Amino acid sequence: MQITAQMVKELRERTGAGMMDCKAALTETNGDMEAAVDTLRKKGLAAAAKRAGRVAADGVVSSYIHAGGKIGVLVEVNCETDFVARTEAFQDLVKDIAMHIAAADPRFVRREEVTADVLERERAIYSEQAAASGKPANVVAKIVEGKIDKFFGEACLLEQPFVKNPDQTVGQMVTDAVAKIGENIQVRRFARFKLGEGIDKKEADFAAEVAAVVKG
């Protein structure tokens, strides 16, 4: 099948890969656009895996404010060089991650950061729920592990479905960015603030009343 310039252009727009890489992928797949996308993604993932061991000590700390100042996020995302840190592609990636954190409220960056006490508490709850169903112990164990995986997917930033594209996780989005940008990229840490979070409103109202009485 003849590979046209329009086909190469379309594939590049969909994947962000170079023109020659797009042409080669289309040639390899005999013009099958979806297969070419998969081919480029596989190559990108392989390249990203090779870069994962490289030191990423540069990058940016970015912020995102949402809901009229009711929710705020600070996030640190690292790359290898200041040059990449200043590129539009990297800046856009960091903004997307910060926006996602504001919307999805993750508790950890990755599953390795989930503390033992949190994991033990979740496992105990799931075990009790599964055991109450009367199922055999081996089935209960599988149910618990399945629920733990689901917990990771809900609590860990990199395993959450990206809010702007639920077909991929945040981790997959970062990996795709590594393949396109050409440097190791790591989400290091974040902090999410919600106005009034952790404040007991009744207690705060009482304190305000006491203060008013004292001033009066």
pLDDT tens digits in sequence order for the chain, 216 residues long: 789 988 988 887 776 566 777 888 899 999 999 998 888 777 765 555 566 667 688 999 999 999 789 999 999 999 999 999 999 999 999 999 999 999 999 999 999 999 999 999 999 999 988 888 888 888 888 899 999 999 999 999 999 999 999 999 999 899 889 888 888 899 999 999 999 888 876 665 655 665 565 555
CATH number of the domain at 115-153, please?
A: 1.10.286
Pull the structure tokens for residue 209. 């009343």
Number of Cβ atoms within 10 Å of the Cβ of 22: 25
- Report the alpha-carbon distance of residue 121 to residue 126 in Å, rounded: 9
Contact indicator for 79, 181 with CB cutoff of 8 Å: yes
Task: Name the CATH topology of 1-51.
Answer: Helicase, Ruva Protein; domain 3 (1.10.8)
Question: Where along the chain do the CATH 1.10.8.10 domains lie?
Answer: 1-51
Question: Where along the chain do the CATH 3.30.479.20 domains lie?
Answer: 54-104+170-216
- Report the alpha-carbon distance of residue 152 to residue 214 in Å, rounded: 49
Q: Give the distance from CA 98 to its chain's centroid.
A: 9
Task: Name the CATH topology of 54-104+170-216.
Answer: Tetrahydropterin Synthase; Chain A (3.30.479)
Question: Where along the chain do the CATH 1.10.286 domains lie?
Answer: 115-153
Pull the structure tokens for residue 192. 């999410």
pTM over 0.75: no
